[in-house]
């Protein structure tokens, strides 16, 4: 049974970063030890993965929970702070079963498994099996991208599909740690826009890229499902200390994720959707400059005046700053406006065009 481990995390370069990382690891070990003494049991929390020729990207998180915890029956209303009180099992050994093959993979310090396993699966929506220790296995969906796929959808989440006020420190803390998940508001028209993109491109992979922590992945999954967004893979990050800083860089996470997708799917041209309240425009500009062949269009949601004030203003990329490319660059305040702009740019078919069977 081959073993697959995540890329090793760099050793902290500075003394304060080493101390912060060591303190975090000590806290995790203490919480895990006490949790097991209280009778808590390990589970695998599965996330949607994706695959391509010769590989599948496995995404999940290993936690300690009360016996009898049912993944199929999530709480009807969950406060954000509860997502951050779960006990993760760093370094947990997880068995992955894919198409009759078994792989042993290992979680990182935060209990997150994010590894590729070498396996060839038929394109389409597939299911893999995950198991930790002697607990019952759980299933995780994996979308294996069609070889003939030429268009993909990559979307930011915060203030693009869901109004969370992430750039505003105090409101972000309120939304993340206190607010009931049902109180979060979708951006008007974005789900309809995404459904139209997927409908017109039936083999289109969908990726939701956010600087949010893996702790909130179940909350985001339920939000996207409840508001009828297309199924897709969440790519989140961890807020813990790294080799050179107390908190991971959200911009680096997004940049590295974009670069990885370009390597894994060199023939796909992505429709990149973001907003003008963070750094999406700059990231997309740089990605176009490096990979012009991998971008179909850029669609930027314009924040309202009130949102822009709270976010500290807008960060527009001027026409002169954009790299020379054939990919249209459009903006509008909501999904309906972006659909119109993308239609006029030829990215979406006219509304009276027959739908593909």
| Per-residue pLDDT tens over the stretch 117-131 | 999 999 999 999 999
Q: Which of 43-52, 190-199, 316-325 has the lowest mean pLDDT?
A: 316-325
Is the pLDDT at 286 greater than 50? The verdict is yes
Over 80: is that where the pLDDT of 12 sits?
no
Which residues lie closer than 8 Å to 76 by C-beta, 6 or more apart? none
For the chain, first and last CA: distance in Å? 42
* CB contact at 8 A, 267 and 155: no
pTM: 0.86
Does the pLDDT of residue 294 top 50, yes or no? Answer: yes
Total residues found in the chain within this entry? 357
Question: What is residue 159's predicted lDDT score, i.e. its pLDDT?
Answer: 87
Tell me phi and psi for residue 62, to 5 degrees: -105, 125
Give CA–CA dist 294/271, Å, rounded: 9
- Confidence band of 274 (pLDDT split at 50, 70, 90): very high
Q: Does 5 score more than 60 pLDDT?
A: no
pLDDT in tens, 192-217: 999 999 999 999 999 999 988 888 88
What is the predicted pLDDT for the residue at 32? 75
Distances (CA, A) of 260 to 243, 255, 271, 286, 291: 21, 9, 16, 14, 12
Strands (DSSP E) contained in the chain are: 3-4, 41-46, 49-52, 55-65, 87-88, 93-98, 101-106, 112-117, 124-132, 138-144, 151-156, 162-163, 185-186, 206-213, 233-237, 269-275, 295-301, 329-332
Look at residue 319 in the predicted model and tell me its pLDDT: 59
pLDDT at 246: 44
């Amino acid at each position: 049974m081959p073993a697959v481990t995540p890329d090793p995390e760099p050793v902290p370069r500075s003394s304060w970063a080493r101390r912060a990382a060591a303190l975090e690891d000590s806290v995790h070990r203490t919480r895990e030890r006490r949790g097991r003494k209280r009778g808590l049991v390990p589970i695998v929390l599965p996330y949607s993965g994706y695959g391509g020729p010769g590989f599948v990207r496995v995404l999940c998180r290993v936690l300690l929970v009360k016996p009898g915890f049912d993944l199929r029956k999530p709480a009807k209303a969950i406060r954000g702070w509860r997502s951050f009180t779960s006990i993760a099992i760093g370094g947990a050994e997880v068995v992955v079963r894919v198409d009759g093959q078994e792989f042993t993979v290992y979680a990182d310090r935060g209990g997150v498994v994010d590894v590729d396993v070498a396996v060839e699966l038929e394109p389409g929506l597939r299911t893999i099996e995950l198991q930790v220790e002697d607990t019952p296995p759980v299933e995780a969906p994996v979308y294996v991208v069609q070889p003939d796929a030429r268009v993909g959808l990559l979307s930011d989440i915060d203030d693009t599909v869901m109004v969370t006020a992430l750039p505003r420190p105090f409101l972000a803390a309120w939304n993340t740690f206190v607010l009931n998940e049902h109180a979060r508001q979708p951006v008007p028209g974005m789900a309809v826009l995404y459904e139209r993109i997927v409908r017109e491109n039936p083999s289109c992979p969908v990726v939701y890229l956010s600087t949010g922590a893996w702790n909130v992945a179940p909350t985001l999954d339920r939000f996207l499902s409840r508001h009828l967004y297309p199924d897709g893979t969440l790519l989140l990050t961890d807020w813990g200390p790294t080799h050179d800083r107390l908190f991971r860089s959200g911009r680096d996470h997004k940049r590295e994720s974009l670069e990885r997708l370009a390597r894994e799917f060199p023939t796909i041209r992505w429709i990149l959707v973001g907003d003008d309240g963070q750094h999406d425009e700059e990231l997309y500009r740089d990605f176009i400059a490096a990979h012009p062949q991998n971008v179909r269009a850029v669609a930027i949601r314009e924040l309202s005046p009130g949102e822009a004030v709270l976010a500290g203003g807008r960060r527009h990329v001027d026409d002169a700053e954009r790299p020379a490319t054939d990919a249209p660059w459009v903006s509008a305040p909501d999904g309906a406006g972006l659909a119109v702009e993308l239609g006029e740019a030829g990215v979406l078919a006219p509304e009276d065009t027959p739908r593909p069977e």
